[in-house]
Every structure is written in structure tokens, then in C-alpha cells.
Amino acid sequence: MKDNDSQGYLISKKYSYYVFVLIFLLYLFNYIDRMVVVSIFPFLHEAWGMSDTQCGLLVSAAYWAILIFSLPFSVLIDRWSRRKAIGIMAVLWSVATALCGITRNFTQLFFARTVIGIGEAGFAPGGTAIISAIFPEKKRAQIMGLWNASIPLGSALGIALGAIIAEHLGWRYAFWIVAIPGLVAGLIFFKIRDYKTIDLSRTVMEGSSTKAHTKMKARDIVMEFIGTPSLILTYFAFAGNLFVTTSLMSWLPTYFYRYEGVSMSKAGMMGGAVMILAIVGAPLGGFLADRWYRTTVHARLLFSSISSTATALILFTAFMFFGGTVQYIILLFGGMTAVAFVPAAAAVTQDVVHPGLRAISYSLCVIVQHILGSSIGPVFVGAVSDRYDILTALTIVPVFSLIAGVLFLAGSRYYKRDLAKVEKVTIDAEK
């Protein structure tokens, strides 16, 4: 049997891009809803007397929920329906975002933020699986790069819009207004064409030359992951980089507010501008990785290693040696490189596993990156800030990108071998 990746587009090229636009918009609204709380930190300080650690916990709450529910939801996605699961999740996280606007204390807001994370838990694995199925393998990192550009764009919009709305209408309105687009897009997503659920089988040899297909057992599925070193190392490298990007998204506005003495709306826009430049970094990273992939089979991991190391050096230089305008210009470059690794690394999580396990593969990546990265980063920065100051905390953060670079480099040694053992299957679209 042939892998669909060698056949080109699963559905028509035009319809593939229509589905992509919907998935892009949902990821955009996903991050707007997830990050809007960041620009509201000063208002919560004033209204409820919250500490920096508590503010960090509001960001981490969503990530903790994601890491808990990502795996069971990804199993549902791989074995049931991508479009139905994603549609339900989008409605849930949008409603939960709106509910944040009626909370009366930290506990209630923390709970509502947790529900947002539950709604978002399976979206990245489901969206990744759909993209991997409807676009050819040779374009996988490029498409992933375009898709992941929605992360910094959504984060920047969430931070900037939240600050503007909160200053002019009140912080509760920020939650209510940003919840609307995700709800609408989620309802539309129920109508797209999905691909048929893939049978979990593998090829085995019978005798000297006869091949047969047998259903994969639980042990076979487990070995699909733990027996793939390039995949495991990619998961941990992802975590190191997400520690950094989530910390920056969560705390740059507050850093600019305290050190530059600007209004929170301007600080939000400054922080958002740093991360929004990843719109350049993510697609460019995917494009360059796929170009290199044509001549070097493990290029996706090598590129991720280089971009991660570059990010560490840029951020450390900015926080350690500079301030003011020069520091901000350097941080803008850091915003471009910080997510350049994502499309290539995300493609690896799809390249080296059975096509029927792609959502699960990315969900495991999500779990690892949130346990060791996204859920810890904001709280770490908040805690160090409470003990010392926020500049000290942000100066430490780039170390984790450097660790990620080393892990990606180690994973590149195993990629070719892991790719060669992947099962080739036919992927069909729904009628």
C-alpha cells in the first residue's frame, strides 16, 4: 500500500486550503482566548490584589488542563472524528472564555481558565493530523509553518486587544468580546470534509517473502513511540523552547510596563509586537527546513537545533547587556527566531509514526511540552520576579532554548532510521 503523502493532495487543492484557513483561524482564536489574560494582570493586581505568582498560575491553569486532557482527546480524534471533536472543543473554550468575564475572585477565574484548557486540549493534535493528511509530505513543514504563524499572531492580538479593551471598557469585556469569533468558527468547522479513520495495522513477514497485515496490539502502539529516539528527543526539545516562548508571551508586557514606564496598553502592544514577528519566523522556518530536507534527510531536526541555539543567544544578549531601544530591537529579532523551530519539529512528530497515530503523537508532544515547558515557565518567571525582579527571571529563561538546541541535534542522529520503519498506508477522504 502507498502512503497518501506520495500521492499529493488527499482532497482537491482548493478545498485543502479552505480547510487550512479554518484551522488557521481556530488556532488564532485559540491563542487569543488563551493569552488575553496576560494584558489584564495589572487590572487584577488592582482589583483583587493578586501576586505575580497568582497571575502566572492563571496562564499555567490552561496548560495544566491541556496536558491532562490532550492524550484522551487525541485518542478520540484519531479513532472517531477530527471535525466533530475540534468543533466541540472550539465551542467549549469560547464559552469558557466568556465565563471568565463574570468571575468574582481568583479561584473562580482559575477554574474558568482551566476549562479553557480542557476545550483547547485536543485542538493542536487534531489540527496537526488533518494537515498531515490533506497536504503532501514534502510540503509538511511549510504548511506547519504557515499554520503555526497563527500562534504568535493570536498571542499578540490577545495581549494587545485585551489591554485596549480593558483600558476603555473594563477587563471583563476583554473576555466577552474575544470569545465570539472562536464560537462562530467552531460551529462552521462541523461542516468540513474529514478523512476516514485509519485502521491500526502493520506489515509483518510470513515466511521468506510473503507480507501480511495484522492489527496492532497495545504493545505495538507503545513501541511506536518509545522505540523512536528522534521522536522522544523532539518532545523534550519542544518543551525547552515552549518554556521560553510562553514565558515571553506571559511576562514581556509586564516587563515593559515596569521598566519602560509606559501604559499597559502600550506595553501590551510592545510585547505583542515581539511575538507577532514570529509570523515571519514560523513560515520562514518551515520553508527553509523543507528546502534543506530535499538534500539532507535529517534537516528538519538540524534546522530546529540551529534556530533554538540562535534564539538562546539573542535573548540572553538582550536581557543581559542592553536596555531601552537597543534591547527592544534585539528582542524583535528574538521574536522571529523563537518559533522558527516549530514547523520542522512538528513535522517530525508526524513523519516518524504510523499515520493512524498522528494526533496521539502530537498530543504526547503537547503533554511533554506543557509538563516541562508551558505550565512551568510563567510560574517560574513569576516566582523569581517575586523573589528578585522580573529582569533577573527573563535573563535566566534563554538557557532552556539552548538545552532544546542540544536535544534536537541529538535527535537528528536517529531520524533517518526512524523514518525508514514507518508503516505506509492509504488515507482516504470522507464521502
pLDDT at 4 (0 to 100): 44
Partners of 215 in the β-ladder: 201
Locate the domains of the chain by residue range: 4-193+225-420
Q: Which residue has the higher pLDDT, 405 or 258?
A: 405
Mean pLDDT for the stretch of residues 235-255: 90
pLDDT at 207 (0 to 100): 53
Residue 234 to residue 301: CA distance in whole angstroms? 8
Amino acid found at 171:
W
pLDDT level of residue 195 (50, 70, 90 thresholds): low
pLDDT at 1 (0 to 100): 32
Contacts with 151 (C-beta within 8 Å, 6 or more apart), sequence order: 27, 31, 278, 282, 339, 342
Residue 318 to residue 234: CA distance in whole angstroms? 27
Q: Which three cell numbers stand for residue 119?
A: 476545550
| Residues composing the chain | 431
Instruction: With H, G, I as helix, E, B as strand and everything else as coil, classify residue 81.
Output: coil
Residue 344 to residue 351: CA distance in whole angstroms? 10
Instruction: With H, G, I as helix, E, B as strand and everything else as coil, classify residue 212.
Output: strand
To the nearest 10°, report the CA torsion of 415, 238, 369, 337: -160
CATH number of 4-193+225-420: 1.20.1250.20
* Model pLDDT for residues 286-311, shown as the tens digit of each residue: 899 989 998 999 999 999 999 999 99
In this structure, are residues 231 and 352 in contact, taking their beta carbons and an 8 Å threshold?
yes
pLDDT at 10 (0 to 100): 64
* Model pLDDT for residues 21-35, shown as the tens digit of each residue: 999 999 999 999 988
Query: Measured at the alpha carbon of residue 103, what is the angle toward residues 248 and 172, in degrees to the nearest 5?
Result: 65
* Model pLDDT for residues 204-217, shown as the tens digit of each residue: 655 555 555 677 77
Q: 53 pLDDT exceeds 80?
A: yes
Contacts of residues 416-422 at CB distance under 8 Å and 24 or more positions apart, as own/partner, are 416/297, 416/298, 418/228, 418/229, 418/230, 418/231, 418/352, 419/297, 419/351, 419/352, 422/3, 422/351, 422/352, 422/353, 422/354
Residue 47 to residue 222: CA distance in whole angstroms? 49
Q: What are phi and psi of 374, to 5 degrees?
A: -60, -40
In this structure, are residues 402 and 312 in contact, taking their beta carbons and an 8 Å threshold?
yes
- Helix (H) or strand (E) holding 211, with range, is strand 210-215
* Model pLDDT for residues 89-118, shown as the tens digit of each residue: 999 999 999 999 999 999 999 999 999 999
Residue 354 to residue 9: CA distance in whole angstroms? 19
Q: 222 pLDDT exceeds 60?
A: yes
Q: Which residue has the higher pLDDT, 420 or 345?
A: 345
In 369-429, at which residue ranges do the beta strands (DSSP E only) sit?
A: none
Residue 146 to residue 286: CA distance in whole angstroms? 8
Distances in Å between the Cα of 155 and the Cα atoms of 21, 104, 279, 395, 396 are: 18, 25, 11, 21, 22
Cβ burial 142-153 (10 Å sphere, 16+ → b, else e): bbbbbbbbbbbb
Query: Measured at the alpha carbon of residue 322, what is the angle toward residues 317 and 326, in degrees to the nearest 5?
Result: 105
pLDDT at 107 (0 to 100): 92
Q: 397 pLDDT exceeds 80?
A: yes
Q: Which residue has the higher pLDDT, 188 or 133?
A: 188
Query: Measured at the alpha carbon of residue 377, what is the angle toward residues 280 and 186, in degrees to the nearest 5?
Result: 60
pLDDT level of residue 260 (50, 70, 90 thresholds): confident
pLDDT at 181 (0 to 100): 93
Write the secondary structure of 334-377 as one string of H (helix), E (strand) and C (coil).
HHHHCCCCHHHHHHHHHHCCCHHHHHHHHHHHHHHHHHHHHCCH
Characterise 49 by phi-psi region: left (phi > 0), alpha (psi -120 to 50), beta (else).
Answer: left
Q: Which three cell numbers stand for residue 62?
A: 490552561
- Report CA 394 to chain centroid distance, whole Å: 21
pLDDT at 5 (0 to 100): 47
Mean pLDDT for the stretch of residues 380-386: 90
* Model pLDDT for residues 307-341, shown as the tens digit of each residue: 999 999 999 999 999 888 899 999 999 989 998 99
Which stretch of 43-57, 197-211, 346-360 has the lowest confidence by average pLDDT? 197-211
Mean pLDDT for the stretch of residues 181-196: 85
- Report CA 416 to chain centroid distance, whole Å: 25
Enter the pTM of the model. Answer: 0.75
pLDDT at 113 (0 to 100): 94
Contacts with 167 (C-beta within 8 Å, 6 or more apart), sequence order: 263, 264, 265
